Amino acid sequence: MAADPFTSTEPRLRALAYRMLGSHADAADAVQDTATKWLSTDRSIIENPEAWLVRTCTRASIDLLRRRKREAYVGPWLPEPSTEDAGDLPALAESVRLAFLLMLERLSPAERAALLLHDVFDEDYSAIASAIGSSEAMARQHVSRARRRIAEDRARFAVAPHAERDLMERFGAAVAAGDLAGLTALFAPDAELRSDGGGKRAAALNVITGADRIARFFLGITRKHPYQLRPAIINGALGGLQIEQGEISGALSFATDGDRITGVFFQRNPDKLARVH
């Protein structure tokens, strides 16, 4: 018996929806909505089931993005950490990085969908146009515009794994030693720290900018709330899990330019840490 097209396509749908939405819960809703429509549709008239499923999931994700009301969110918003294994596909591996997911936040829902479908999931412009409800010419414009809007940051965060390991090790050593000068030197002068507590756990309510301020922030919370920093792969990059009294209380991930840390993503929202182990 042939495999059900939804079952075989579901991993692709989950990967697409998570990158669109930055949330496993929202991605599950988009995939569930796709499944419901799949089951209630006369499949005998569907010529290409996989294309139909990708199109339906894309539209469900766009609808969720447009309904999302982040203005009510307490403090900076960060995507939910992911521990998925992208395997040997470079496009999938890069597109799950937190820095990349935050770049997508600067795009419109249609631009985000078009860029992901073309550059990550290798869809042609005809399929993209169908998925976002536009002409092929408009789909091309969406992809081109999205590439331009994130090009500078995308190049800045393209870093070799060994550089991330070195910076992560030096970061952990400097924090443990309380070395303010050494820690400050690890950050670019215009580095930014985003700390997401969602109003449920202590976190910075605004983006912190500047090497010295970020270094002082980390040393301050280390003094107030002693924790262990355990290395972990978070969104395809080496990061760290903050362990307090045997429980995961935070997930740290970094963006770098190869020499210094340019961005810190500190996920503290317990709802978004539920899937992290």
* 14 and 151 part of one domain: yes
Q: Does residue 28 carry a pLDDT above 80?
A: yes
Write down the pLDDT at residue 67: 83
Q: Does residue 160 carry a pLDDT above 90?
A: no
Contact (CB, 8 A) for 155 and 99 = no
Q: Does residue 276 carry a pLDDT above 70?
A: yes
Residue ranges making up the domain that contains 185: 161-272
Which among 264, 232, 224, 265 has a CA at the least distance from the CA of 248? 232
Write down the pLDDT at residue 157: 62
* 17 and 142 part of one domain: yes
The 10s digit of each residue's pLDDT in 214-266 is: 999 999 988 887 888 888 888 888 888 999 888 899 999 888 888 899 999 99
The 10s digit of each residue's pLDDT in 161-203 is: 677 788 888 999 999 999 999 999 999 999 999 999 988 888 8
* 113 and 239 part of one domain: no
Share of the chain above pLDDT 70, in %: 92
The 10s digit of each residue's pLDDT in 119-151 is: 999 999 999 999 999 999 999 999 999 999 888
Among residues 156, 172, 192, the one where a domain terminates is: 156
* 166 and 145 part of one domain: no
40-65 as b/e, with b when 16 or more CB fall inside 10 Å?
eeeeeeeeeeebbbbbbbbbbbbebb
The CATH number of whichever domain residue 232 belongs to comes to 3.10.450.50
Q: What is the mean pLDDT of residues 37-64?
A: 94
Among residues 141, 156, 171, the one where a domain terminates is: 156
Among residues 156, 174, 208, the one where a domain terminates is: 156
